[in-house]
Amino acid sequence: MYDFKFADIGEGIHEGKILEWFFKVGDKVKEGETLVVVETDKVNAELPSPVDGIIEKLGAKEGDTIEVGQTIVLINDGIDSNPIDEKKEPLTESKSAPGVIGEIEVSSEVMASSTESSNTTKTNINKALATPVARQLAKDLGVDIKQINGSGEFGRVLKEDIYKATEIKKASQTIAIPKVSVSAQGEVEYVPISNLRKAVVRAMTLSKQIIPHTVLMDEVIVDQLVELRNKVKEQTAAQNIKLTYMAFIMKAAVLALKKFPHFNASFDQENERMVYKKYINLGIAVDTPVGLIVPNIKDADKKSILELAQELRTVADQTVNRTVQLAQLQNTTFTITNFGAADVAYGTPIINHPEVAILGIGKINQKPVVINGEIKIAYILPLSLAVDHRVIDGADAGRFLSQIKSLLNDPMMLLLS
């Protein structure tokens, strides 16, 4: 019997909603066939069957919410084992279960002190009684789960306990915010926010709470870049490649990151150390009908401008259609966001935690500038760079931005690199 669980896929995703089953109990399924579509905060994921067999039991119905570590389906694959009673969580069971992306180690172990009993309080327990999903949630929100008094059976820590502890922690660290009372004089409409918007709320709040942002803004003359793109865009279109300015900007960012590796890093505050990434996964903020999602281009430093343009178009389309693979949302090292798409020149972008910087791109416009003492009309690209001021000083940020400006001002350097 194969117990197929909803794997821990990271990115702050703790649960999913069953959208559609393609099989029912008693059906035969082959390895690789899509079993179910699960809606998470960021994508609609198609989960393939990990084995050949017969569907014995579905772990949830369409419309139900499942958590990380919970059984999605039991498949009779002809191998004898003891299927898990979904009503009882095993105390010491760990196995490798294929999830949304490849095989991910999943544990359903519940950690508890050997001295605990129904009459024992959590005061003297070394490790809290909680499920893996609760532990991961506490870790993501920066809460010490051992300090939480669980409201579940035998003092088990529930998700609600963690959220409550998070609010208490915030209240102790920040100025109290008065409650907002909604006027009842006029007509109002209450609209719950989507799961994706809730994820954005958590991510943005976390970033602004932890990271002291500082933003540098500047402009770069891109006449040569505009001329180069206009020369080659028809040729690239013939190869079914839409060559946008973003591909050149991505290449410039990659070269700047290679010269300034501390921008392609994360800050491990707990251990007071920098984590330098030897790979560059370039995140691109994509505006979708349901909210902002940031997929990334893997190993962007190993790709040409045309390869970046082609992959960017593919990933952006998949993101808008909610078919992007979860792997494309994970392990981003540096992010670019495009204000120009919203007809905006400048902004103050919020860093994608735990990254240490983000580059904002504005709309290219023609405007008068002074060149060699003469006023000329030039194409100008606005740039906004936000950095984590704990680990990146303003001078370093200025040098990084100057490097990007230099490359975009003379795009032949991008082609020769």
pLDDT tens-digit profile of 166-175?
Answer: 665 555 454 4
Do residues 72 and 4 touch, judged by C-beta distance below 8 A? yes
d(CA 187, CA 75): 52
Specify whether the backbone of 67 is left (phi greater than 0), alpha (psi in -120 to 50) or beta.
beta
Residue pLDDT, tens place only, 103-134: 323 333 333 333 333 344 434 445 677 766 67
d(CA 380, CA 364): 5
Is the pLDDT at 145 greater than 60? The verdict is yes
* Contact yes or no for 63/89 (Cβ under 8 A): no
pLDDT the model gives residue 110: 37
CA angle 303, 257, 392 (to 5 degrees): 160
- pLDDT band for 249, please (50, 70, 90 cuts): very high
Domain ranges of the chain: 2-107, 122-173, 214-416
For the stretch 49-59, pLDDT in tens is 888 999 999 98
pLDDT tens across 58-69, in order? 988 898 888 877
Q: What is the pLDDT of residue 124?
A: 41
State pLDDT tens for residues 17-34: 898 899 999 999 988 888
Three-state secondary-structure class, residue 398: helix
Checking 226-229 for CB contacts under 8 A at 24+ apart, the result is: 226/364, 226/379, 228/411, 228/412
Q: Look at residue 244 and tell me whether its pLDDT is greater than 90.
A: yes
Instruction: Return the sign of the alpha-carbon dihedral for residues 325, 329, 330, 334.
Output: positive
In this structure, what token pair is assigned to residue 204?
């943005």
Return the pLDDT at 131: 67
Phi, psi of 125, rounded to the nearest 5 degrees: -90, 130
pLDDT (0 to 100) of residue 12: 56
2-107 fold: OB fold (Dihydrolipoamide Acetyltransferase, E2P) (2.40.50)
Which residues have C-beta within 8 Å of that of residue 262, sequence separation ≥ 6?
274, 276, 356, 391, 392, 396
Q: What pLDDT was estimated at residue 178?
A: 58
Q: Which fold has domain 214-416?
A: Chloramphenicol Acetyltransferase (3.30.559)
Look at residue 160 in the predicted model and tell me its pLDDT: 73
pLDDT of 134 reads: 73
Q: Quick one: 223 exposed, middle or buried, by C-beta within 10 A (0-12, 13-18, 19+)?
A: middle
315-338 tens-digit pLDDT: 999 999 888 887 888 899 999 999
- Identify which has the larger pLDDT, 6 or 309: 309
Catalytic residues: 389
Residue 191 has pLDDT above 70, yes or no: yes
Query: For residue 115, with 0-12 CB atoms within 10 Å meaning exposed, 13-18 middle and 19 or more buried, which class applies?
Result: exposed
CATH number attached to the domain at 122-173:
4.10.320.10
Q: Same CATH fold, 122-173 and 2-107?
A: no
**What was the pLDDT predicted at 170?**
55
